[in-house]
Structure 1
Amino acid sequence: MPSHEAMAIRQMLSQYRSGEHEGPPPSIELQRAALDEMGRTIPQPDDVLVTQTNIAGVHGEWIEVKGVSNTRVILYLHGGAYYMGSCESHRSLCWRIARAAKARVLLIEYRLAPEHKFPAAVEDAVEVYKELIRDGGITPACIAIAGDSAGGGLTAATLLSLRDTNVDLPACAILLSPWTDLAGTGESMTTRANYDPWLEPNSIRKAPALYTAEETLTHPLASPLYADLQGLPPLLIHVGDHECLLDDSVRFADKARAAGVSVTLHIWDEMWHVFQSFPMPEADAAIAEIGRFVQQQIPD
């Protein structure tokens, strides 16, 4: 049974989703501001250090916890359907992951649609990773790439692009509710539509138009579900059983396993899209699991 905190947050999200149908849709600017505001709901502890940076021309933040080793590095790619999301929206999630994983996190602001179309986000993530291992003095064996929602799909796309250009891959990757099928063909788009308190199938199907043309919806770097997944590093995938994008995770995990990839898929009962972002016990448990996975794959 979900915690009291989870039930309260579910009700809040459901009310927000219901309000989306009243009046004209909010502008992209308002949607971006709302996601940023949601990310600021968890206060930042005094022992968290945030340092602004620019790597390969991409703005970002190094997020560190005092007293934690700098050996492990997590390159984090935020969600937001490729047209929202920033350091503001995802900083709190990243410092909680940094603490659990005993790692420092590099959270970057890749270029957003519609100002910058596919494959701009992939290009930015790839170039940041390459600069980390080229000029940052960080070995791939000490790096994990992680992301949520669109950032989860982007994490997979980044791995594929690195593999296909013969760049050494990171030690592992973490995908939280990854958006791997921009064509929206998963059965859960229908079967979970009445359970999902946050996402709505019609909105999900409209969002890709801001990022990529219809003819490239199934391009492997836009929708990694359609890619050859051989040779990827160990993956941890989290998804909620009540989210419309459930099958984006399940089918991707199945395909990756069939390609010989080590995959840990955890379907969280009665949870929704990127529930790890919210202040509740279920999120704490999920982040603790992420931390253990990173430490196992990148030992001291």
Structure 2
Amino acid sequence: MAVSQQAHEFAEFLESVSAKASTPGLDLAVVRDIVDSNHKASTEPEGVSYAEVDAGGVPALWAIPEGADPDKALLHFHFGGSVTASMHSDRKAAGHIAKGAGVRSLVVDFRLAPEHPYPAQLDDAEAAYRWLLSQGYEPRNIGSTGHSIGGTLAVMLPLRLLAKGEATPGAIVSVSPWTDLTIQNPSVDANEHNDKMLSRATLELFRAAWLQESGVDFTDPRISLVHADLTGLPPTIVHYGAYETLADDGAQLAQRLADFKVTSEVHAMPEGQHSLILGAGRVPEVDRAIQQMGQWLRRHLGN
């Protein structure tokens, strides 16, 4: 199937934002403002309202579709390599996924590196999850969703809960996850010119900001999901773009899920870009992918 004109325009948009953000000498605050403008790629989802909340000490934003199931919720983690982006950059994309699933989504504004290195982001994810539990949501009725570093956190959170012997969310949606912190996969260099958002240099900058402990082993299963024991994970769907520097990361996670007999699906979008859900409402291929994510969540939440 030919790639849509809208998909090409989306790639051009991502490239223009990345070019601005990588202007030499910019202050990090300015870079963050530029990266937040990626939200412009998504349309406003019709019939979705928003409300900012304090989720157990973590700033967050509810995306609430009309007619949302009051007993279920998504916990959504944004992109940005732990260094950039925010709940505002993900608001509309998360709203589209929430609408597809027919449930509200809590978009988590986790702390950013380098000011707050690992595991601050995961700590905030856990705090927001526990806040949802305090609001009366049952674990099986919560979906863990995200893209890029957020797609990593969407899996890391259930793994942390499993390690503590606690109930996990009922389903996972992991889009464009970063699962191998060694940055050694062939797609990193093979897709250097195809990926309009990420490059090896950007990934190395993100990694240095996120993992600041000296002597940290990038193969540690706590940070590289490709080495983690995935036993007991809830049903997980993985989406990634074939044009991503992290395409192999997504494919490897899907293979690991199969190896550990986790109920799972994998979808590789032809010529798809990193953080593809940012094209929500404009790119037909993305809207079909979001429909698949919504159906996955409808099928598995509450079981």
TM-score (norm 1): 0.93
AA paired with 1:248?
D
**Given that residues 38 and 278 in structure 2 are in contact (C-alpha distance below 8 angstroms), is that contact kept between their aligned partners in structure 1?**
no
Residue identity opposite 2:245 in structure 1: C
Cα distance in 1 for partners of 2:191, 2:168 equals 34
**Separation in 2 of the partners of 1:88 and 1:72?**
22
Structure 1 residue identity aligned to 2:207 = P
Unaligned runs of 5+ in 2: none
Partner of 1:277: 278
Partner-residue secondary structure (3-state), 1:71: strand
Counterpart residue number, 1:97: 97
2:77 pairs with 1:77: yes
Greater displacement, 11-20 / 52-61: 11-20
**TM-fit CA distance, 1:143:** 0.8
**What's the counterpart of residue 289 of structure 2?**
286
Separation in structure 1 between the aligned mates of residue 174 and residue 165 of structure 2, nearest angstrom: 22
Amino acid at match of 1:255: R
**8 Å contact kept, 1:276–1:282:** no
Q: Is the 8 A contact 2:76 2:106 kept in 1?
A: yes
Alignment partners' CA distance in 2, 1:215 and 1:282? 42
* Conserved? CA contact 2:190–2:245, under 8 Å: yes
- Partner of 2:164 in structure 1? 165
Query: What is the aligned counterpart of 2:299 among 280, 296, 299?
Result: 296
CA distance in 2, matches of 1:130, 1:240: 32
Shift of 1:298: 2.0
Query: Aligned-pair distance for 1:274?
Result: 1.2
Paired residues of 1:157 and 1:220 also in contact (CA < 8 A) = no
Q: Is the 8 A contact 2:257 2:264 kept in 1?
A: yes
| Partner Cα separation in structure 2 for residue 39 and residue 268 of structure 1 | 20
Alpha-carbon separation, structure 2, partners of 1:77 and 1:156: 11
Q: CA deviation at 1:86?
A: 1.2
Partner of 1:205: 204
Give 2:196's aligned amino acid. Answer: P
Superposition deviation, residue 268 in structure 1: 0.6
Aligned ranges for residues 120-159 of structure 1 at < 5 Å?
A: 120-133=120-133, 135-159=134-158
Give the alignment's Cα RMSD to 1 decimal.
1.9
CA contact (8 A) 2:181 2:224 kept: yes
- Work out the percentage of aligned pairs sharing the same amino acid: 28
Measure, in 1, the Cα distance between the counterparts of 2:114 and 2:302.
40
Specify the code of the residue in structure 2 equivalent to 1:219.
D
CA contact (8 A) 1:174 1:236 kept: yes
Does 2:109 align with 1:109? yes
State the Cα distance separating 1:136 from its structure 2 match: 1.2
Distance in 2, matches of 1:155 and 1:272, equals 19
Q: Deviations over 1:4-30 (max 9, x none)?
A: 111122233345555667x51533212
Q: Report SS of the residue matched to 1:116.
A: coil
Report the Cα distance in structure 1 between the residues aligned to 2:260 and 2:76, rounded to whole angstroms. 25
**Aligned-partner Cα distance in 2 for 1:36–1:151:** 15
- Residue deviations 1:141-188 (CA, integer Å, cap 9, x gap): 111100100011111111111100111011110000001122212111
Q: Establish whether residue 221 from structure 1 lines up as the match of residue 222 from structure 2.
A: yes
Cα distance in 1 between the residues matched to 2:83 and 2:20: 21
- Alignment partners' CA distance in 1, 2:71 and 2:122: 25
Distance (Å, rounded) in 2 between the aligned partners of 1:119 and 1:299: 29
Question: Cα–Cα, structure 1 residues 252 and 43, in superposed 2: closer, same or farther, change >3 Å?
Answer: closer
Q: Secondary structure in 1 aligned to 2:290?
A: helix
* SS of residue in 2 equivalent to 1:207: helix
Deviation at 1:192, TM superposition (A): 1.7
What are structure 1's unaligned runs of at least 5 residues?
A: none
Deviations 1:188-241 (A, max 9, x none): 112222322222122212221011136333333322222111111111000000
The answer on whether the counterparts of 2:13 and 2:41 sit within 8 Å (CA) in structure 1 is: no
The SS at the match of 2:34 is helix
Deviation at 1:103, TM superposition (A): 0.7
Distance 2:20 2:50 in 1: 35
Q: Once the two structures are superposed, what CA deviation does each residue of 1:25-73 show, in whole Å capped at 9, x if it has no partner?
A: 5332122111222214545356322111112210101110122222321
Aligned residues: 298
